Amino acid sequence: FLISFPFTPIAGAIPLFIGYLQLRKSKKYLVDYGEVVMKKDTRAPVLYLRSFNDEVEDRSLTKYFNNASVSSKKDLSLTTPSIGFREQDALSYVFRKVGPYIALGKPEEKIPELGSSKIYVPDEAWQNTIRDFFEKSKLIIFRAGKTEGLKWELRELVQTVKPQKII
């Protein structure tokens, strides 16, 4: 009994964490797609631009535990309320107060990730969709990354959008 006592809180936390992950997964089936959100909320949208590759890192358990133990002002998600362990989740808390928080969804995604409301378009239409959102968005959040698609978005952003709209 004395040997196992210190491990009891940790052993109890593991099922809670697994339960949290299952709850999070089930919530994905309940979210509205971006088109539905924009019909319900007619304010100008807030567009979130990011690399799809960065979402893989955001979902990693390693990042979650690092965020819990390291205080870094370099990670924007650590400066907003921690309602999830993904940057999109933390940012949604703030930006949904401004307008519908929208992002393009990954084409192969079966169910949308939590955070921003996702809009799905065919590969041949994504650039025109982004240009359209550049015009109608109240704010555009750009998360730096290394993919070619994101580089294209940055070039277009700099050439066509007023700097006051960009975060």
Q: Residue 13's pLDDT is what?
A: 73
**Cα–Cα distance measured from residue 146 to residue 40, given in angstroms and rounded to the nearest whole number:** 34
Cβ contact 104:118 at 8 Å: yes
pLDDT exceeds cutoff 50 at 82: no
Which residue did the predictor score with more confidence, 21 or 129?
129
pTM given for the model: 0.74
pLDDT digits (tens, 9 = 90+) for 24-69: 777 777 788 899 999 999 999 999 999 888 766 655 555 555 555 5
